[in-house]
Amino acid sequence: MNKSLTRIHLGMVVFYSLLVALACVIHLEGDKASDMGVLILAAFFGTPLLLHYLAMRGVRAGKRWGRNLSRVLGALMLFAVPIGTILGAFILMRTGKVDWQQSAP
């Protein structure tokens, strides 16, 4: 269900996972990065990672909360010019009544 929206959220999960991994690698390679700084970066990038993962699971199952979470994430992504704006608009289009596939009761 909702394959294109699921793929967008999966892509965002991969993107944020790479950012968290990069922060960890930078910390392990150099002595100058503080532990607290890396934890802050991991939390900063880990939060949207978790939210996109949850949205992906909800969208794949056709759940109403997945649709609502996708709308919130899409609206927030509109402020990330230019690519986030495009992805956010796409997410908002795919959560409309015409494109949304509800799960079977």
The pTM of this model reads 0.86
Query: Is position 48 within any domain?
Result: yes
Q: Per mean pLDDT, which range of 8-12, 14-18, 32-36, 93-97 is the poorest? A: 32-36
- Buried b / exposed e along 65-99 (16+ C-beta atoms within 10 A): ebbebbbebbeebeeeeeeeeebbeebbebbeeee
Query: Is position 69 within any domain?
Result: yes
Query: Is position 104 within any domain?
Result: no
Range of the domain at 79: 3-94
Q: Per mean pLDDT, which range of 12-21, 22-31, 92-101 is the poorest? A: 22-31
